[in-house]
């Protein structure tokens, strides 16, 4: 049995990678949360495992000074893109806008933020995101019932509130807006309704995905960007088959106008 990695034994660097990503090329990760896993969702497939701090409170989790120091000490020059995701929902960090600005001042690399969309109803969050080159919003469900079952949000967050926030953001944001849809057997039947919701948001791109990484039994910093580590206790997840993925792609191609990218096509090239 491999040893269980413990958070307190890990080096808590707020910057990790660059790692190879099927969507992004070489991606350098910035973790604005780091203390533990912190999110307003607790998705059933989360690569961080069961979220430790389920909250929608915005505050400073990692000081900008530390983030700046770790970024400047990192191998950022070899990255294709700088990605803000890390140990949970990055828009919960109150210094989000300040950190994006710091990165843009220091490097010419594009900055991408991955968000679950739960905070986009807040004008301050939408303003913080304006300087990012790309924002990718998670959208896994077309109905409230599947949303609650799959994303398990904190109390008070509904699918309708996420869609409303995303629509408001779309109106204000000039960068590239993507939707990331994670498919498992649990939400396969949502494809049509989800495609309809996607049209309301009018993204520049839709990314279809299925969980390729196992569900770890606990959080530790390596779960942020690890694509190939298996030396920790984890549960394998049920993914969408090649055949199911093809029918998903066909539905999205028919029902939406946005360009589509899919992990299945990327997997043929060997990327995670």
Residue selected from 109, 121, 138, 224 as contacting ligand SF4 according to rule CB under 6 A: 138
Q: Give φ, ψ of 242 to 5 degrees.
A: -55, -45
Element (H, E) at 30: strand 25-30
Binding span for ligand SF4 by CB under 6 A among 46-54, 99-107, 164-172, 192-200:
46-54
Judged by CB under 6 A, the chain residues 16 through 35 that form the site for ligand SF4 are none
Give residue for tokens 């849809």: 181
Binding span for ligand SF4 by CB under 6 A among 36-44, 125-133, 188-196, 203-211:
36-44
Q: Which residue, 45 or 68, is less far from ligand SF4 as judged by CB? A: 45
In terms of Cα–Cα distance, which of 101, 114, 104, 122 is closest to 47?
114
Cα distance between residue 55 and residue 42, in whole Å:
10
In terms of Cα–Cα distance, which of 86, 27, 42 is closest to 61?
86
Q: Which residue, 121 or 138, is less far from ligand SF4 as judged by CB? A: 138
Residue selected from 18, 29, 88, 225 as contacting ligand SF4 according to rule CB under 6 A: 88
Any contact of residue 89 with ligand SF4 (CB under 6 A)? yes
Residue selected from 14, 15, 30, 41 as contacting ligand SF4 according to rule CB under 6 A: 41
Cα distance between residue 243 and residue 249, in whole Å:
10
Map residue 41 onto helix, strand or coil: coil
Contacting positions for ligand SF4 (CB under 6 A):
39, 41-43, 46, 48, 51, 88-89, 116, 138
């Amino acid at each position: 049995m491999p040893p269980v990695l413990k958070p307190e034994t890990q080096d808590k660097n707020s910057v990790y990678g660059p790692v190879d990503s099927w969507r992004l090329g070489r991606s350098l990760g910035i973790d604005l949360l780091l203390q533990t896993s912190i999110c307003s969702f607790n998705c059933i497939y989360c690569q961080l495992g069961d979220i430790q701090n389920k909250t929608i409170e915005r505050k400073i989790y990692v000081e900008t000074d530390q983030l700046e120091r770790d970024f400047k000490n990192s191998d950022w020059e070899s990255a294709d893109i700088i990605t803000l995701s890390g140990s949970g929902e990055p828009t919960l960090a109150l210094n989000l806008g300040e950190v994006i600005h710091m990165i843009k001042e220091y490097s010419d690399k594009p900055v991408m933020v991955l968000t679950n969309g739960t905070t986009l109803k807040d004008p301050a969050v939408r303003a913080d995101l304006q300087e990012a080159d790309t924002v990718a919003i998670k959208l896994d469900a077309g109905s409230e019932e599947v949303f609650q079952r799959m994303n398990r949000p904190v109390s008070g967050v509904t699918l309708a509130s996420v869609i409303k926030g995303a629509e408001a953001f779309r109106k204000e944001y000039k960068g590239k807006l993507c939707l990331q849809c994670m498919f498992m057997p649990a939400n396969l039947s949502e494809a049509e309704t989800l495609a309809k919701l996607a049209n309301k948001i009018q993204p520049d791109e839709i990314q279809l995905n299925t969980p390729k990484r196992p569900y770890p039994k606990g959080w530790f910093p390596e779960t942020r960007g690890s694509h190939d580590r298996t030396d920790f206790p984890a549960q394998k997840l049920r993914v969408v088959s090649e055949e199911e993925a093809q029918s998903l792609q066909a539905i999205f191609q028919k029902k939406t106008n946005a360009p589509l990218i899919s992990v299945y096509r990327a997997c043929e090239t060997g990327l995670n």
